[in-house]
């Protein structure tokens, strides 16, 4: 049992000999964790920006400066209301612009650092406890290493690591783990560890709302593993907990001021009770993926809403039972209650009061809750088997086999992020009724068409694939409105430019917020058909709608250049460069026009 002789559930410090095997292998274990994690993600460094990466990173002016909020966001993104997350991406941008490998490397480093912190927390927790006698206490270093290694290579963590913008989850988790670790070290009578716990908590809350659980988890950890009671925990470290709780201001600011898409019960189409029922099924699905991580999917837009209690599956009811059991375990088996609280409290914000429209389920949310499950299974399995020496070796071999198997699965999952086409082809295969996944697959085919010569068989084939996917979107969800630009390009490049022009014209009537972009796209289409007067009219209208947009100036300059009007072409390219100094295409065309205009006749 995890209780002492008095049955009060208090853990006691157990000194370990400095010459023990565990002490000699102290550095080998964390190196093993880092090594195996690096192998599992060795093929994840070249995947492209996808989905929310585009708005959150590629097109987000916020990350163009290391000074927070120097450039306001154009629209809400995953980074909205998360200043520390914005700053981390701003560092990447300062190092390499939009070179995707830099962002992947940063995500991997965050993941490996989180694994090291998890290892340190598990090791320190196990080594300070009398767990089922000395038979379990001896291998705490490698038990902690196995927990951290299984977690770091588990395929369910890939979405928070390989999908770049989901750094929100992994970076917040890193700070949450750092906060708990600093709290543990604060018992060494060094006040700076307590300060570290507070700072890490604040930084985490400036990354994502899940760190709102940190003050509660910290006091639960203290009560369970350090102080032995809530009273003693508060007496010894009440200042730390008060300061950590004050950091909830970051969450409240994001919730009421900066939050992205709205909240349940206010401006979404789902009631709080329906969302709660739905999340019972979602968490049950997460548990299934934790123990059987196959058919991982990037998008769950089509996840069914549980409108009635009869829609809750029996695994969903089991999740409710686990939640109730966690509440009782906090009183009668504190170690088990802490692991349950770790699981449910970290999931709570995104699974209850800070949901995102169209995203009832998202695999990255299981990033840190998964650690509690891994710890529970590994330590419990070891304790149950350690009475038989031969079985111990079998357990070690089984643990290594699981690590190797999960590593292989993670490598395969990362392969599915190699290109946008790979990502969305896999997503559609996993969730064939997901209209949004079909729309993004169509957009990927459009991009493939644009990368081929206009009118070539490859371009026409890719555009036809895109057109078919957009038709599938209409069949699955007639109310879903995919990007008119992607739809228009697919129509034009598959051989129906008239339909594309008609689409742009119809959307102009009811989409005033994107009217300028629609005019530009219609003008480009007309220009490709040599319909110069109407194309010119579209570009000029787009400039009048938004004089600060460089794109219509560039397009108008291109039109003048094709007509041989060098003076007006130079003027428009110069205007585009003046508006956007880093517009390299416009700058190159400006130099080209000036050279042509001054060349001897």
Question: Which DSSP string do the residues of 450-485 spell out, in sequence order?
Answer: HTS-TT-HHHHHHHHHHHHHHHHHHHH-TT----HH
Cα separation of 541 and 221, whole Å? 62
Cα atoms found within 13 Å of the Cα of residue 212, Cβ hemisphere only: 20
Please give the structure tokens belonging to residue 332.
């009668």
Contact between 558 and 538 under an 8 Å Cβ cutoff? The reply is no
pLDDT of residue 423: 94
Q: Give the sign of the dihedral formed by CA 325, CA 331, CA 332, CA 335.
A: positive
Tokens 């003048």 found at = 560
Cα separation of 580 and 64, whole Å? 13
pLDDT of residue 385: 73
Contact between 374 and 143 under an 8 Å Cβ cutoff? The reply is no
For 372-439, the three-class secondary structure string (H helix, E strand, C coil) is HHHHHHHHHHHHHHCCCHHHHHHHHHHHHHHHHHHHHHHHHHHHCCCCHHHHHHHHHHHCCCCHHHHH
pLDDT of residue 188: 58
Query: How far are the Cα atoms of 30, 50, 79, 163, 453 from residue 54, in angstroms, in the given order?
Result: 35, 6, 12, 11, 24
Identify the burial level of 216 via C-beta atoms within 10 angstroms of its C-beta, where 0-12 means exposed, 13-18 middle and 19 or more buried.
middle
- Average pLDDT across each block of 10 residues of the chain; the chain has 601 residues. List them in order: 37 41 68 96 94 89 82 76 92 94 97 97 78 54 92 97 96 97 82 91 91 93 88 89 86 59 50 86 96 94 90 93 94 91 91 68 95 93 68 75 96 95 94 92 88 81 88 85 78 81 83 83 89 91 89 91 87 90 86 71 49
Contact between 52 and 46 under an 8 Å Cβ cutoff? The reply is no
Please give the structure tokens belonging to residue 272.
């709080």
Residue 87 Ramachandran class (φ > 0 left, ψ -120 to 50 alpha, else beta): alpha
For 527-562, the three-class secondary structure string (H helix, E strand, C coil) is HHCCCHHHHHHHHHHHHHHCCCCHHHHHHHHHHHHH
pLDDT of residue 8: 41
């Amino acid at each position: 049992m995890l209780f002492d002789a008095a049955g009060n559930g208090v853990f006691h410090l157990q000194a370990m000999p400095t010459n023990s095997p565990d002490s000699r292998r102290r550095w080998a274990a964390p190196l093993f964790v880092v090594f195996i994690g690096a192998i599992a993600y060795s093929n994840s460094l070249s995947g492209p920006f996808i989905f929310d990466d585009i708005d959150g990173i590629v097109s987000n002016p916020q990350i163009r400066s290391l000074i927070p909020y120097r450039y306001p966001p154009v629209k809400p993104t995953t980074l909205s209301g998360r200043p520390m997350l914005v700053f981390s991406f701003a560092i990447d941008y300062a190092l390499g612009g939009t070179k995707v490998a830099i962002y992947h490397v940063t995500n991997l480093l965050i993941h490996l650092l989180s694994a090291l912190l998890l290892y340190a927390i598990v090791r320190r927790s196990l080594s300070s406890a009398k767990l089922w006698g000395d038979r379990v206490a001896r291998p705490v270093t490698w038990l902690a290493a196995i927990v951290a290694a299984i977690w770091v290579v588990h395929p369910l963590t890939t979405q928070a690591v390989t999908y770049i913008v989901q750094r929100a989850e992994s970076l917040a988790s890193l700070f949450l783990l750092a906060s708990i670790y600093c709290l543990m070290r604060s018992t060494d009578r060094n006040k700076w560890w307590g300060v570290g716990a507070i700072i890490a908590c604040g930084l985490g809350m400036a990354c994502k709302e899940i760190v709102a659980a940190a003050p509660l988890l910290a006091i639960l950890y203290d009560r369970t593993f350090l102080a032995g009671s809530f009273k003693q925990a508060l007496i010894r470290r009440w200042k730390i907990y008060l300061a950590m709780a004050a950091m909830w201001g970051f969450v409240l600011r994001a919730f009421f001021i900066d939050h992205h898409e709205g909240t349940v019960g206010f401006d979404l189409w789902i009631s709080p009770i329906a969302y709660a029922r739905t999340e019972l099924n979602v968490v049950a699905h997460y548990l299934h993926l934790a123990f059987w991580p196959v058919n991982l999917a990037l998008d769950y837009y089509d996840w069914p809403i549980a409108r009635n209690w009869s829609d809750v599956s029996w695994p969903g009811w089991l999740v409710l039972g686990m939640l109730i059991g966690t509440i009782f375990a906090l009183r009668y088996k504190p170690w088990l209650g802490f692991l349950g609280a770790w699981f449910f409290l970290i999931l709570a914000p995104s699974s209850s009061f800070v949901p995102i429209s169209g995203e009832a389920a998202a695999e990255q949310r299981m990033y840190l809750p998964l650690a509690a499950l891994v710890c529970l299974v590994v330590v419990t399995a070891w304790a149950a088997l350690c009475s038989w020496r031969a079985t111990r070796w079998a357990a070690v071999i089984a643990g290594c086999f699981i690590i190797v198997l999960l590593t292989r699965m993670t490598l395969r999952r990362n392969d599915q992020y190699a290109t946008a086409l790979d990502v969305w082809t896999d997503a559609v295969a996993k969730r064939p009724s997901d209209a949004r996944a079909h729309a993004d697959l169509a957009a990927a085919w459009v991009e493939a068409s644009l990368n081929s010569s206009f009118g070539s068989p490859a371009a026409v084939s890719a555009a036809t694939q895109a057109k078919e996917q957009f038709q599938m979107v209409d069949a699955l969800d007639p109310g879903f409105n995919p990007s008119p630009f992607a739809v228009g390009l697919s129509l034009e490049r598959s051989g129906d430019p008239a339909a594309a022009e008609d689409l742009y014209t119809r959307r102009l009537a009811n989409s005033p917020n994107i009217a300028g972009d629609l005019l530009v796209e219609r003008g480009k289409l007309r220009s490709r058909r040599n319909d110069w007067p109407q194309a010119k009219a579209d570009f000029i209208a787009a400039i009048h709608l938004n004089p600060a947009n460089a794109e219509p100036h560039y397009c108008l300059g291109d039109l003048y250049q094709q007509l041989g009007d060098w003076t007006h072409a130079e003027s428009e390219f110069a205007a585009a460069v003046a508006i956007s100094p880093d517009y390299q295409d416009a700058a190159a065309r400006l130099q080209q026009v000036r050279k042509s205009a001054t060349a001897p006749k």
